[in-house]
Amino acid sequence: MIHTERPYQDLDFFRSASDVITEVEEIGPEDPGLIIYTSGTTGKPKGAILTQRNLVHDARNVMKIWEITESDVLCHALPLFHVHGLCFALHTALMAGSHVIMLDSFSPQAVIGVLSQKEGGYVCTLLMAVPSMYGKMMEYVGEGKLDFEHMRLWTSWG
């Protein structure tokens, strides 16, 4: 059982994984890569299968359009159960070779705190979020003035 209330870096689950890599059958571009569930906006929710090719194609497009590279650092506070958080943010950053600062959940204080850091190990250059997240961060900052000159890209979907 994985205790979801604890930060992922504190979980023994990840440290207990085997270093042995087992052989798997050849995986092709048309093989399933992910089953993501739709919201049911136009009908009942259902599983949508994305192929390996879909995932790679989408990530490459996002990398190209937003010029995401290995020099970027993504502040990740989106849920991983959604295409935006998993595919467009995490997969894209990993395929580009970017660093990812993975937050356990979204909180305006935590995100603003990470984005405000301009020195140290990893200085964020990217944030992918939804409009309600930006609204909460703006509410948190209020009339305060913050310096985000180091940020290269802010995206909003949803």
- Each residue of 31-77: pLDDT tens digit? 999 998 887 788 888 888 999 999 999 999 999 999 999 999 999 99
Q: Which of 30, 102, 32, 91 is nearest to 63 (CA)?
A: 91
CB atoms within 10 A of CB 86: 16
Q: What are the helix and strand counts (H, E) for the chain?
A: 6, 6
pLDDT in tens, 104-116: 999 999 999 999 9
pTM of the model: 0.79
User: CB-hemisphere CA count at 13 Å for 36?
Assistant: 17
Instruction: Give me the pLDDT at residue 128, please.
Output: 96
The pLDDT score that the predictor gives to residue 38 is: 82
pLDDT (average), residues 103-130: 94
- Domains in the chain, please, with CATH? 66-156 (3.40.50.980)
**Mean of the pLDDT values across residues 114-119?**
94
